Amino acid sequence: MQIVVRTEGLREALAKFLTVVDRKNSRPILTCTLITVKDSCIECVATDLEVSAKIIVNANVKETGQFCVNTKNIFDILRELPDGEVTLEMGHNETSLKIRYKEIFYSLLVYKTDDFPHLGFENQFNKFSLKGYQLQEMINRTNHAISNDETRLYLNGIYFQEIDSKLRAVATDGHRLALIETALEGHQIETLVNGIIIPRKGVTELKKISEAYSDHQLQISVDESFMFVSAENKYFLSIRLIAREYPKYQAVIPNKTSFKLITDRDAFMVAVKRISLMSNEKSHGVKIKIGEREMTITAQRESSGEGTEKIPVDYDGKNMEIGFNARYLMDALSALDGGEVSLELNNELSPVIIKSQQLPHYLGIIMPLKL
C-alpha cells in the first residue's frame, strides 16, 4: 500500500477525531482510527461506540489497503510536519506504517482491522436538511443550559423536537432553560415529533461539523437510536441518542407575565459580572432590585465585602427584589446578541423569561434564587 497525501488535509481530519476517541477505553482498538485507502481518497473512521465520525481526504493512491493506527500517535506526527505532501507506505503482512516527509521518517505500529467495529453512517428514513449555520446557532444558544448532573441522564443533552414545521432545540438543568426554533423544510418527521435527546458529546461533534460547513446544507436522518449527519459527502457523524423521555419543559414556561423590564444587554451583563466578584463562592448569588427606571445589582460576601451597581431600565411596574445565580444570568445574556433585552416575570418567585427583539425565535428562563 502506498499513498501520497497533503499533511494539512490529513492533520485537519484527525484533529476532529481527538474528541471522538476515548483514550481511557478498555478496548485498545477504540483508541485507533480505521484508515481505508481507496482509489483516490483516504477514508478515516473513529468511534467510542456512542459517537462515530468518518472523514474523506483526497489522496494520490498508488495501492489500496486498510489498517488501524493509534489516533493520537499519528496526529502528533502530522502536527509536527510542515504543510506539503507526505508518503504513507506499508507492505503486505507488515505490522508498521512508514511515514516519509522529505528527510523525515517515522515508523508506526498498526493493528488488525478485524477488531474494529462495523459502523453505519446513514439511514434511509426520517430525512431532513439544515444549513450548517442554523444548527450552529441552535447549539450555541442552548448548550450552556445542559445539565452536568449524571444522575439525571435525560438532561445531559439537547432535546430536538419538531413543532408546527419548525425544529425546536431545548436544554435545561432544572434551574434554567434555553429554547430556540428554526424553520424546517419538508414533511412531518415522526421521530422528531416525538423528540430526540442528543448527548453532550454528540452536541460537541455536531458543533464541529456545523462550523466546518456553516454555509453548506447538512443532510440529517434520525431513528429511535441514532442521529446521522453528513456534509458534502466528506464528513459523516453517527450519534447514539439518549434513550430517555425528556421532561415536560413547557410546564415551566409561563403562559403570561404581568411585568416587563427592558435594558441594554451589554450594560446588564457587565454589571452582573462586576458585582458577582462579591457574591458567595458557592451560590454565586446576586440580588437585583427593580424599581422605576432603575435596577440595582448587589452582592455580599461575608469574608470579603459587598458590591453595588445601578443601571437604567425601562420599567414602570411594582418594586421587586429578586435573587439570581450570577453565572446562570451571564450565560443566558451571553446567548443573546447586543442591543436591548427584556425580562418578563410575575413576582419575586416566578420563572423569569429573558428575550431579545433581535432573536424572536429564542427565549431563556432562569429560576430565582433564594438569598
Q: Are 229 and 237 in contact (CB under 8 A)?
A: yes
Predicted confidence (pLDDT) at residue 67 exceeds the cutoff of 90: yes
Give the chain's mean pLDDT. Answer: 94
What the block records as the C-alpha cell of 217 is: 446544507
Beta strands at 235-240 and 196-199: parallel, antiparallel or unpaired:
unpaired
3 Cβ contact partners less than 8 Å away, ≥ 6 residues apart: 37, 42, 59, 60, 61, 62, 63, 87, 88
End-to-end CA distance of the chain: 68
Predicted confidence (pLDDT) at residue 159 exceeds the cutoff of 90: yes
Give the number of other Cβ atoms within 10 Å of residue 57's Cβ.
19
Strand partners, 168: 161, 181
Q: What is the mean pLDDT of residues 267-272?
A: 97
Predicted confidence (pLDDT) at residue 222 exceeds the cutoff of 90: yes
Q: Are 32 and 70 in contact (CB under 8 A)?
A: yes
The whole-number pLDDT of residue 145 equals 97
Predicted confidence (pLDDT) at residue 244 exceeds the cutoff of 70: yes
Q: What are phi and psi of 37, to 5 degrees?
A: -95, 115
Tens digit of each residue's pLDDT (9 = 90 or more) over 92-117 = 888 999 999 999 999 999 999 999 99
Band of residue 332 on the pLDDT scale cut at 50, 70, 90: very high
Band of residue 221 on the pLDDT scale cut at 50, 70, 90: very high
Band of residue 23 on the pLDDT scale cut at 50, 70, 90: confident
3-state secondary structure of 353: strand
Residue type, 164: D
Q: Are 69 and 223 in contact (CB under 8 A)?
A: no
Predicted confidence (pLDDT) at residue 195 exceeds the cutoff of 80: yes
Band of residue 184 on the pLDDT scale cut at 50, 70, 90: confident
Strand partners, 188: none
Rounded distance between C-alpha atoms, residue 236 and residue 319, angstroms? 54
Q: Are 287 and 297 in contact (CB under 8 A)?
A: yes
123 Cβ contact partners less than 8 Å away, ≥ 6 residues apart: 221, 222, 223, 226, 228
Predicted confidence (pLDDT) at residue 86 exceeds the cutoff of 70: yes
Rounded distance between C-alpha atoms, residue 119 and residue 102, angstroms? 36
The whole-number pLDDT of residue 124 equals 82
Find cell 483508541 and name the residue.
31
Whole-angstrom CA distances from 210 to 102, 320, 332 are 35, 42, 22
Band of residue 343 on the pLDDT scale cut at 50, 70, 90: very high
Residue type, 172: T
The whole-number pLDDT of residue 186 equals 67
What the block records as the C-alpha cell of 85 is: 505532501
Q: Are 70 and 96 in contact (CB under 8 A)?
A: no
Predicted confidence (pLDDT) at residue 39 exceeds the cutoff of 90: no
Domains of the chain: 2-115 (3.10.150.10), 127-250 (3.10.150.10), 254-366 (3.10.150.10)
Q: What are phi and psi of 359, to 5 degrees?
A: -130, 75
The whole-number pLDDT of residue 93 equals 80
The whole-number pLDDT of residue 187 equals 65
Band of residue 125 on the pLDDT scale cut at 50, 70, 90: confident
Query: What pTM was computed for the model?
Result: 0.93
The whole-number pLDDT of residue 251 equals 93
Which of these, 57, 52, 19, lies nearest to 236 by C-alpha position?
A: 52
